[in-house]
């Protein structure tokens, strides 16, 4: 549990996603995710180079599990390709935080990876549209 609390209190890759910050952290895709019923919300900003995540920033609010889980996932996915991330299942977070916690709070624990996958799918849709136009 100390590991989870550390990620909650000292989240990795968290940071402002304001317009001024875009100069420092280019967003190839910005994606909102959340479980509005319980108040867990994250906004992530992903930067890619050759289909590999090179930068990840997020802001959010909510329970310890959702925010720590997003922090943990940010470390896991940097350096991974889109295909590697889309192939990840919920066990990616379960293996890290433990089955008991992940299964007792499935939406909270998988919020980070779910939002990253959603962002990748949205980016791929945008890229497909651009290719169709040109």
CATH number at residue 85: 3.90.1010.10
Judge whether 48 lies within some domain: yes
Q: How far apart are CA 60 and CA 83, in angstroms?
A: 25
Rounded Cα gap, residues 116 and 76, in angstroms: 11
Q: What CA–CA distance (Å, rounded) separates 74 from 111?
A: 11
The tally of domains found in the chain comes to 1
In a domain, 65, yes or no: yes
Residues 6+ apart with CB under 8 A from 90: 102, 106, 109, 110, 113
Domain membership of residue 43 as a residue range: 2-118
Per-residue pLDDT of the chain (134 residues; tens, 9 = 90+): 799 999 999 999 998 765 555 556 678 999 999 987 889 999 999 999 999 999 999 999 999 999 999 999 999 999 999 999 999 999 999 999 999 999 999 999 999 999 999 999 999 999 898 888 87
Kindly state the helix (H) or strand (E) to which residue 35 belongs, with its residue range.
strand 29-35
């Amino acid at each position: 549990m100390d590991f989870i609390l550390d990620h909650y209190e000292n989240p990795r890759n968290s940071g402002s996603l304001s317009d001024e910050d875009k100069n420092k952290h280019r967003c190839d895709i910005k994606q909102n995710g959340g479980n509005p019923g319980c108040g867990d919300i994250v906004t992530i900003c992903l930067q890619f180079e050759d289909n590999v995540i090179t930068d990840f920033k997020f802001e959010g609010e909510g329970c310890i599990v959702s925010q720590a889980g997003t922090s943990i996932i940010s470390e896991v996915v940097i350096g991974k390709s889109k295909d590697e991330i889309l192939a990840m299942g919920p066990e990616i977070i379960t293996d890290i935080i433990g089955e008991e916690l992940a299964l007792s709070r499935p939406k909270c624990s998988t919020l980070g990876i779910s939002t990253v996958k959603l962002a990748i799918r949205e980016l791929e849709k945008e890229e497909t549209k651009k290719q169709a136009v040109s």
